[in-house]
Amino acid sequence: MASRQAPAENMLWGGRFTQGLDPLMVKYNTSLPYDKIFWSQDIRGSIAFARANLAAGILTSDEFAAIEKGFGQIAEEWRSGKFEEKENDEDIHTANERRLSELLGKDVGGKLHTGRSRNEQIATDMRLWLRDELRTLEGYLMDLIKVAVSRSEKEIDVLMPGYTHLQKAQPVRWSHWLLSHATAFTSDLERLREVISRVNRSPLGCGALAGNPFKIDRDAMAKELGFEGLLYNSMNAVADREFVLETMQWGSSFMLKISRWAEDLIIYSSLEFGFVRLADTYSTGSSLMPQKKNADSLELLRGKSGRAFGQMAGLYCTIKGLPTTYNKDLQESVEPMLDHIKTVGDSMQIATGVLSTLSIHPDKMLAALAPEMLATEFADYLVRKGVPFREGHHISGRVVQLAEENSVPMDKLTVEQLQGVDARFDEDVVTCLDYERAVELKDATGGTSKSAVREQIVVLKGILAAK
């Protein structure tokens, strides 16, 4: 059996325990290997807490000045990589406070934690870190949408097949396809901004669960740390991880959308379609077949969506049965949050790189259009002559059937043959076979005409500009 390890003096809970810990339990319990990413947030929160304790009379001016200076040195040690982690540093809170006491002595360093709990510290650190990371992701997402909007403006003349059930349906503009995804991403941009606002609430000053007994000014601490407001119930504040779950819900929503976007481009970049070509920067080759150019960047985007979904589902399972309030299970919210943010952020940047560098082949898109995709135009033609749509739809179906029976495309049918289907087809029926005309007729808001596409661009630019 492994030898036991006695709790070190710097462990914040060590006074209660006399028996040693299983070394494996020490490693199992320790979170410093990953939560040290919060060193800056933990120091900022500690300085704000010390300042509030100064105002409450817990610290003298000299003690606060020493604490602030000490944390300045600790911050520099973290920045330079010179911070010395010690065996019994359970977490970032313990490590920073232990180092502060080494610098200032326990008489001053030991006062820092007055009225404070690690329960509120980790909740504060996570919210501060996540808020700033989400603001970075907001910038990445805006960049992706801007690239889509910019290409939509420049390539507005390009036509391509639109698909339903992965079958050719009606002609659309390439810009319309770009904006279909950009619109979905913009919905996530709006949701992200709402998530940031809800993340940016302060739990500092709530203690372990019951609150602070020293009349600490929570509003002052929140203002110093840039929080938009407070969490008003101390039990909820220290145990809540809904801000992580909501972030993962948002991230999963985005990853779902980027996965579908990637799937489209994987299909469009295949030799069978040839609509787009990825830059070499975002492609790889085959170890066996030299002719291959694989869309690995897009396939990874599609694959990493499952990783994001799993992180969200895993944390849901961890939290769903926990009793009030703080339980150590909540430590399991940190690692998936860190990986989720990295996965989503990297995915946004890769997607932006792919979209900004891929080339399109308008000639292949145009060649992929088929006259049968204009069948609805015949029905609409008859509607303009007063024919009920259901009747016009039936007649246009007979036109398709006639083309199939004669083994010719619809545009090879003569006017006489069309009139044999229905006498209300006049000589101008041939205009129904014009792809550009068909696209331009879809000019209602949200459609694929140039005017409708430009309207969408204006709307998206307005949302991008809103803060």
DSSP classification of residue 171: E
Retrieve residue 41's tokens.
Answer: 């947030």
Cα dihedral 330, 95, 11, 245, rounded to 10, equals 0
Helix axis angle, 174-199 to 242-268, nearest 10°: 170
Q: Is 286 a catalytic residue?
A: yes
Choice among 197, 270, 286, 451 that is catalytic: 286
Tokens 């990953």, residue located = 34
| Tokens of residue 242, six digits | 């809904």
145 in Cβ contact with 352 (< 8 Å): no
Q: Quick check: 411 and 433 in contact, CB under 8 A?
A: yes
Kindly state the tokens that stand for 284: 């790889």
Q: Where are the beta strands (DSSP E) in 122-217?
A: 159-164, 167-173, 201-202
Is residue 365 a contact partner of residue 160, using CB atoms and an 8 Å limit?
yes
Q: Is residue 96 within 8 Å of residue 116, measured between CB atoms? A: no
Catalytic one among 165, 287, 359, 407? 165
Q: In sequence order, what DSSP letters do the residues of 353-403 get, joined into one string?
A: HHHHH-EE-HHHHHHT--GGGGHHHHHHHHHTTT--HHHHHHHHHHHHHHH
Half-sphere exposure of 135 (CA within 13 A, CB side): 10
The single residue listed with the structure tokens 């008489």 is 107
CA dist 112 and 67 (Å) reads: 8
Residue positions annotated with a catalytic role: 165, 286
